[in-house]
C-alpha cells in the first residue's frame, strides 16, 4: 500500500511590527474624563484607566501644529459632530498602506519580493477598493500573478485567521512563500460617547501593523493545527456597527466572565490542549480583564502571560495585529517550547493556532 506524501511543515520564518509615532493615550483620558458628568462615575473611569495596564497607545492621526492630539483644536476630530465615516475611510486609505509598508520593511532580508507567491492581509478597521492587498502588492512590486487573500471585518482574531490561512497555503503548495500582513487603524473610530462603558472600550484601542513570512523553510515558529470556538448566545457581547460617524464598537462588560467560564470548561480545554496548557501562551491583549480571565481560567502562572501584558502596556489593543505583536516578542526573546496563540473577537468567538518555537522536529503540534 502506498503512503500519502508527507505535507510540508509551514513555519513563520520572520515577523516584524510597526506603530505610528503619535502617542494619544493620555490625551484620550484627558478628553474622556470631563465627558462624564457624574462625579462618582468620573472617579470610577479614572480608576479603571489607571488600572488598565496600558501606558501607551499610538495613532496615525498627526498632532496639531502646536503638538496637540487629534481631539485638540485643529485636530482631526475638531469638527462639529466628529468626522463622517467617509472622511475616516479617506484617512484609512492614506495611512493603512503606509503603516503596513513600515512593518514589511522591518522584515529586512527575510522579505524578497521575487519569492512571494501569496499575500494574506487582515484589516478590520477600514474599507478601500482596490483593497489593501492590491495596494501593497503594487507598492512592493510583486508580480501580478501573486495570489491575494483579504480578511476583513473579522475583528481581533483575524490575525490568527491570517496565519492559519498562510499555513493551509503552504501545506497545499510546498513551494509557496506567503507574505502575511495585519494593519489596523482603530483610532479612526472615536465616538462622542458620554457613558463609561463605550469610553472604557475606546480607552483600549490603538493603531499598529505586523508583517510576516510563512513558508516551508526550516526556520522560525512551526505552525500547527488551528482551533475555532464560537460561544452560544454571545452575538451582542462584542460587535462592530458601521455608523455615520465611524465604526461603533460595542464591548460588553460580560466578556471577561464568559471567557473565563468557557476556557475553564473541560470540553473546551480538551479542544485547545492535550492535558495541561503548553509552555508558551500567546494571548490576544484585548484588555487587562481579558488577560486576567484567561490566566485564572487556565490556572497558569502570571509569568506565562508576560508577553501579552507587555504588548498591552506598550501598544494597547491593535485589533487583529495584537496577537502578532505577542508572537513577535516571543520570537525576539528566543522563546522555546510548544505553544498556542489565541485571540477573541466578535461573536463572541475565539480563534487559535498551535505552534512550536525552537524545536525543529515540531512533534505533536497538530496535523
Active-site residues, by number, are 156
Nearest to 20 by CA among 201, 213, 186: 186
CA dist., res. 36 & res. 138, Å (int): 46
β-bridge pairing 238-243 and 221-230: unpaired
Nearest to 313 by CA among 287, 289, 332: 287
238 backbone dihedrals φ, ψ, rounded to 5°: -130, 125
**Owner of C-alpha cell 480538551:** 270
CA dist., res. 95 & res. 146, Å (int): 23
Spell out the residues 6+ positions from residue 184 whose beta carbon is closer than 8 angstroms to its own: 123, 124, 125, 207, 208, 209, 318, 319, 320, 321
Half-sphere exposure of 5 (CA within 13 A, CB side): 7
CB 201 within 8 A of CB 195: no
Q: Is 55 helix (H, G, I), strand (E, B) or coil?
A: coil
For residue 23, whether the previous peptide bond is cis, meaning omega lies within 30 degrees of 0, is no
Q: Which cell is 71 given?
A: 481631539
CA dist., res. 114 & res. 37, Å (int): 58
End-to-end Cα distance, the chain: 21
Cα–Cα–Cα angle for 120, 314, 15, nearest 5°? 30
Amino acid at each position: 500500500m502506498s503512503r500519502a506524501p508527507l505535507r510540508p511543515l509551514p513555519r513563520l520564518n520572520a515577523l516584524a511590527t510597526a506603530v505610528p509615532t503619535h502617542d494619544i493615550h493620555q490625551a484620550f483620558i484627558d478628553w474622556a474624563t470631563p465627558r462624564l458628568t457624574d462625579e462618582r462615575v468620573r472617579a470610577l473611569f479614572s480608576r479603571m484607566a489607571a488600572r488598565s495596564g496600558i501606558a501607551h497607545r499610538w495613532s496615525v492621526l498627526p498632532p496639531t501644529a502646536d503638538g496637540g492630539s487629534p481631539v485638540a483644536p485643529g485636530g482631526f476630530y475638531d469638527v462639529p459632530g466628529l468626522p463622517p465615516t467617509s472622511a475616516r475611510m479617506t484617512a484609512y486609505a492614506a495611512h493603512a498602506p503606509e503603516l503596513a509598508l513600515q512593518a514589511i520593511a522591518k522584515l529586512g532580508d527575510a522579505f524578497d519580493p521575487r519569492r512571494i507567491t501569496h499575500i494574506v492581509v487582515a484589516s478590520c478597521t477600514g474599507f478601500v477598493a482596490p483593497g489593501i492587498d492590491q495596494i501593497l502588492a503594487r507598492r512592493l512590486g510583486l508580480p501580478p500573478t501573486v495570489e491575494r487573500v483579504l480578511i476583513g471585518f473579522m475583528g481581533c482574531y483575524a490575525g490568527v485567521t491570517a496565519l492559519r490561512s498562510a499555513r493551509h497555503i503552504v501545506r497545499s503548495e510546498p513551494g509557496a512563500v506567503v507574505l502575511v500582513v495585519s494593519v489596523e487603524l482603530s483610532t479612526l473610530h472615536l465616538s462622542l460617547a458620554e457613558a463609561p462603558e463605550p469610553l472604557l472600550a475606546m480607552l483600549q484601542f490603538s493603531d499598529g501593523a505586523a508583517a510576516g513570512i510563512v513558508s516551508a523553510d526550516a526556520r522560525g515558529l512551526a505552525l500547527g493545527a488551528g482551533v475555532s470556538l464560537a460561544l452560544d448566545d454571545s452575538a451582542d457581547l462584542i460587535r462592530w456597527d458601521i455608523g455615520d460617524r465611524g465604526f461603533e464598537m460595542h464591548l460588553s462588560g460580560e466578556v471577561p466572565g464568559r471567557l473565563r467560564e468557557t476556557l475553564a470548561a473541560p470540553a473546551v480545554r480538551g479542544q485547545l490542549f492535550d492535558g495541561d496548557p503548553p509552555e508558551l501562551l500567546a494571548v490576544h491583549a484585548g484588555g487587562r480583564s481579558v488577560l486576567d480571565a484567561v490566566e485564572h481560567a487556565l490556572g497558569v502562572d502570571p509569568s506565562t502571560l508576560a508577553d501579552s501584558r507587555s504588548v498591552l502596556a506598550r501598544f494597547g489593543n491593535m485589533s487583529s495585529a495584537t496577537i502578532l505583536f505577542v508572537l513577535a516578542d516571543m520570537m525576539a526573546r528566543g522563546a522555546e517550547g510548544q505553544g498556542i496563540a489565541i485571540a477573541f473577537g466578535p461573536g463572541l468567538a475565539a480563534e487559535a493556532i498551535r505552534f512550536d518555537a525552537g524545536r525543529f522536529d515540531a512533534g505533536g503540534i497538530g496535523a
